[in-house]
Structure formats: C-alpha cells, structure tokens
Amino acid sequence: MLTRRCIALYSGGLDSILAVKMIEEQGVEAIPIKFYSPFFGFEIIQDQQTYIQYHESAFGINVRLVDFTQDIIEIIKSPKHGYGKQLNPCIDCKIGMLKKAGHFLETYGASFVITGEVLGQRPMSQRKEPMNSIIKESGLKDILLRPLCARQLKETLPERMGIVNRENLGDIVGRGRKDQIMLAGKYGIDKELIPTPAGGCLLADEHISSKVRNASDRFHPGLPGKDDLILDIVGRKFNLDESTVLVVSRNDEENDVLSTLISPGNIFVKIADVPGPLSIIRGVITKENILKAASICMRYGKGRGLSGLKALYGPDPYNLADCVESPVVTEEYCTTFQIDLHK
C-alpha cells in the first residue's frame, strides 16, 4: 500500500518549492531533501542552520540536508552520460541524487519521490529522452513524479493509485517562468522572496571547472577530497608543485571565507604588518613552498615590491605563529604557478 508521504528532491529553487506546494495541496506530506556539496550549497557547508531557518521562514519548508560531496566527486570523475558545457555532469548527478533519495523512502515511510523538473527547461537533463534515462537508471521507475509537468509525462504509480490526482498536477513545458510565477502567487510566496532562476551550480562555471579539472588531474588515479575541492571555489589558485596548491583571496569577502576553512592539512599564510590577502597552502608543506606562497601572497597585497617584510603562517588563521622573510618576486614568476589565468 502506498503511503501519503513522499521524498522531495529540493534544490531550493522556485520549481522545487512549487513541486512541494503542489503535492502538499493534495494532502500528501513531502519530506524535502537538499543534497549539497561545495559546488551547490557551499553556503550550507558554512552554516546549515541559517539555510534551514531561511527556507522554513520564507517558504514554510522544513528541509533536511544531506552531504552529496563524495557522490559528486565520484560522478565528476567519469560520468556515463558526459558533461554539460563545463564540468557539470547533470544527467549522472540527477540519477545519483534520485538513487540516494530512493534510499530514504524506507527511512521516512515514504512511497514515492518528487522533483521540481520541468520538461524542456534544461538542455541536458530535462529533455524527454534523458528524463526517461533518469527514471530507468535511478531505479525509481514509476514512483518518480514530476508534479510541475506530470500531465506531459506517463502516468506514475501514485497517480494510478489515486494518492495524487493527475488533473491537479501541472503541464508546464519549456524555459519560461510565467506559469511558475503565477503558481508562486497562488501558493502565497512573497514576490520579493522568489529565488532567481537557477545558475547556482558552480560546476557550470568555466573558471571553477578548470580548477576542479586541475584538482582531479592532480589526484589521478585517486580522487580529491572535500577539503581539496573547497579550495577550488574561492580565490586565485596556484600549483606550487605537483602535489601542493596555494589559494589567495582576492578581496575582504574572500578573506572571510578562507578564514573559515580551518581543516587538517590547510596552512594559512599572510604578510605581517601590511594589508594583504589571506592564503591557504595545502599539500606538501616544505620551507620552499612556504617561501613561494609568501612571495605570491605579497605580490597581491599592499606590500608588493617591498623587501624585508615577513610572512606569518600556521594552521590557525587567527594565530599565525611561524614566520619567514618574504622574498620579492615578479608578477611573471607568480603567474607561472597560476592555474586559472582568467581570474
């Protein structure tokens, strides 16, 4: 017997909010699950409670958070269905999330899964053919319901069993947002709070993709870890040698983000006595690499070109206990180590 409870794949975007509202309107309880990783949901890694509270207060949605980092790291390595324009393996990513959502059915006593997908909205994963592959390979078969475009698709089990009424589901197609904005009004979502159209996945960003490719190559045939990939999200990135990277912040905001990345293996570097960027070295921490890091760090701070300045370093950005004299180097020297020269 099917229960009147489902798992909702929740991205935090308008479509997934509406899918939850549409199903709840039919008296079905939705358990919204947000899968996050450094590439989609970096803000969650930094502060889970703020995310949960915001979605509760803005949309009345009580979201559960599930770390998808290890899954996406493995998917990026060799996605069966390939990549989008950049390093975004959308079809495999969707399949992976749905498989994982399927594992939660029993935990929550739910009997089907919903998503906010709209037929024809995304070039890679929301055409009819990939949507069918996703159904097949996720193993969910006819317990995968896409409420916003359900009437454009084959009837699913919860529809056949009368758990949800197909007539009250959507038939939205394409990339426009008009229908969704109307639905948002119907469900009482404040116009000001409507999330902007998706675009939040950093794997679709050219610069970040090039850094992630570099990290994957560095660890080949193994896989990078979460702490390695987080360093691809922010700042300028340099390869100090084949196993050591340096990330240098570009502004105060990035200084703040980097200062939160205290983690085993991360060593912070900063030039003493003059304003400048905070940096992190990760990999093989030798005197030579500390000096390289110090020289690059100085090049991007207010002390550029000045001799006799010291660089402080250590595992705690608020208590940098060790010190070296920072060498003066040219810009060309720094750029020889830089991974993404567009930034």
Q: Site residues (CB under 6 A) for ligand SF4?
A: 40, 88-90, 93-94, 125, 201, 203-204
Taking the C-alpha atoms of residue 201 and residue 223, their distance in angstroms, rounded to an integer, is 20
Nearer to ligand SF4, 96 or 301 (CB): 96
Report angle CA 132, 134, 135 to the nearest 5 degrees. Answer: 65
- Residue closer to ligand SF4 (CB basis): 90 or 105: 90
C-alpha–C-alpha distance, residues 251 and 190, integer Å? 33
Using CB atoms within 10 A of its CB, is residue 167 exposed (0-12), middle (13-18) or buried (19+)? exposed
To the nearest whole angstrom, how small is the minimum distance from the Cβ of residue 205 to ligand SF4? 10
User: Please, what is the minimum distance in Å from the beta carbon of residue 5 to ligand SF4?
Assistant: 25
Minimum gap (Å) between residue 199 Cβ and ligand SF4: 9
- Mode of pairing for the β-strands spanning 64-67 and 236-241: unpaired
For residue 195 the two structure tokens come to 């999330």
CB of 328 to ligand SF4, least distance (A): 42
Give 21 or 94: the residue with its C-beta nearer to ligand SF4.
94
How far is it, in rounded angstroms, from Cα 120 to Cα 164? 23
Of 79 and 276, the one with the shorter C-beta distance to ligand SF4 is 79
From the CA atom positions of the chain, what is the Rg in Å? 23
Place of tokens 């085993």: 264
Nearest CB to ligand SF4, comparing residues 12 and 283: 12
For residues 267 and 315, the answer to whether their CB atoms sit within 8 Å is yes
* For ligand SF4, the closer CB: 90 or 297: 90
Alpha carbons 149 and 174: distance in angstroms, whole number: 10
Backbone φ and ψ of 65, nearest 5°: -105, 135
Residue 44 or 204 with smaller CB distance to ligand SF4: 204
| Cβ at position 125, least distance to ligand SF4 in Å | 6
Of the candidates 339, 330, 173, 175, the one whose C-alpha atom is nearest the C-alpha of residue 241 is 339
**Least distance from C-beta 13 to ligand SF4, angstroms?**
10
Pinpoint the alpha helices (H) of the chain: 14-24, 42-46, 48-59, 69-77, 90-108, 128-138, 157-160, 178-186, 206-219, 226-230, 252-259, 287-299, 331-335
Give min distance, CB of 88 to ligand SF4, in A: 4
- Cβ proximity to ligand SF4: between 125 and 216 the closer is 125
What is the C-alpha separation between 169 and 146, in angstroms, rounded?
A: 9
Least CB distance to ligand SF4 at residue 94 (A): 5
